[in-house]
Copies of this chain bind each other. A is one copy, B any other.
Amino acid sequence: MYLNPFYTPEVHGPYEMISIGRLELERGGVIEDCRLAVRTVGQLNEAKDNAILIPTWFTGTHQAWIDTYIGPEHALDPSRFFIVIVNQIGNGLSTSPHTTDDESIAMSRFPFVTIGDDVVAQEWLLREHFGITELFAVVGASMGAQQTYEWAVRFPDRVHRAAPIAGTAQNTPHDFLFTRVLLDAVTSDPGFNDGEYASNTDVVEGLGRHARVWGVMGLSTEWWKSGAWRALEFETPQQVVEGFLEPTFTALDPNSLVVMGRKWQHGDVALHTDGDLATALGRVTARVFVMPISEDMFFPVRDCATEADLIPGAELRVIDDVAGHFGLFGFVPEYMAQIDHHLGELFAV
């Protein structure tokens, strides 16, 4: 354990730590006291039919959703919905390698967690803690989209709407390798010490390399070339690297990145159907808007369109954004208007 100041309420605003008890993991191992960091916004109505679940993305926490996606001016309107944002296991806020007081799973001993494990934990949380058994919608981006698909396939009768944004139901070979490159950058730092470092600052070189890999894949060639980065109020691309990418990623916990990265690599709803993706996605009864980002370098539109074609009644709603995957941060002004438009239509049916 060590104190990483990024993973605190000072940075993240209020959130609640809720124990779901013992969680047996799909790939073996157990988290004896699995605690989820949860932020809720809005009120659950009496019928308990206005709940929207939001799972988090790689490196992301609930705060990105609070800052950018949720508010009275957005489709994710707290006056209408009870919004439950659940931080994924291992993300640094929910039970994680660097914060757990269970020595058997601390640091390098943290077990392999899957997208399915997160969804099982979230289902327990919603049912037992909040009394919610059906979801008005699940909305998630990137690894959150993986969890969204997992919900729609695993609990088809309990998810009425689903909006997977910039992510896939079945991870691709390219993204498996990309994720390995991301983790390579971190774990190759001698300071990583096989996961037994004393602080993320011991791994700052590796985390910096990880940041720059994100610069190549998280932001599009056109975002860099067109000068769209000037909207972040930097004067050179090098300043974007040093002033945005490196500070953002070097603040994170290395083992958290490893836990999330491995989880991402193995995300696949076809694990429920002996590898048959069409059958898995054919199960979905939710109304689904598949929402890739036009310039995404590693969840390209066509990969998402292929999956949309396998989901009964799904619609492909492409978000036009020059930033690419990091469009998710919402720093291109036209981004949120599109998200709100599509989610608004999804929520209206």
Contacts from A to B (Cβ < 8 Å):
172-178, 180-181, 184-185, 188-190, 205-206, 209, 212-213, 215-217, 219-222, 224-225, 237, 241, 297-298, 300, 302-303
Contact = CB atoms under 8 A, between A and B. Distances in A.
B224 A177 contact: yes
A175 B176 CA distance: 22
Among A173, A297, A303, residue most surrounded by chain B Cβ atoms (within 10 Å): A173
A219 B302 CA distance: 16
A169 to B, nearest CB: 13
A302 B223 CA distance: 13
Interface of A is mostly: helix
Contact of A180 (B177, B189, B212, B219): B212
B174 A224 contact: yes
9 contacts: A172-B221, A174-B216, A174-B219, A174-B224, A177-B212, A177-B216, A181-B216, A185-B185, A188-B189
A298 B174 contact: no
A212 B303 contact: no
A324 B173 CA distance: 15
Contacts of A302: 222
A206 B206 CA distance: 12
A240 B173 CA distance: 11
Nearest to A219: B174
Given A184-B185, A188-B188, A189-B188, A174 B213 contact: no
B177 A225 contact: no
A111 B224 CA distance: 29
A216 B215 contact: no
A203 to B, nearest CB: 12
B176 A188 contact: no
B189 A241 contact: no
A153 to B, nearest CB: 20
A280 B100 CA distance: 60
A302 B222 CA distance: 9
Contacts of A300: 221-222
8 nearest CB pairs, A to B: A173-B237, A174-B224, A173-B224, A174-B221, A178-B216, A184-B209, A172-B225, A177-B215
Given A181-B216, A188-B209, 20 more contacts: A172-B221, A172-B225, A173-B225, A174-B220, A174-B224, A175-B221, A176-B237, A177-B224, A180-B212, A181-B209, A181-B212, A184-B185, A185-B185, A188-B188, A188-B189, A188-B205, A188-B206, A221-B298, A221-B300, A222-B300
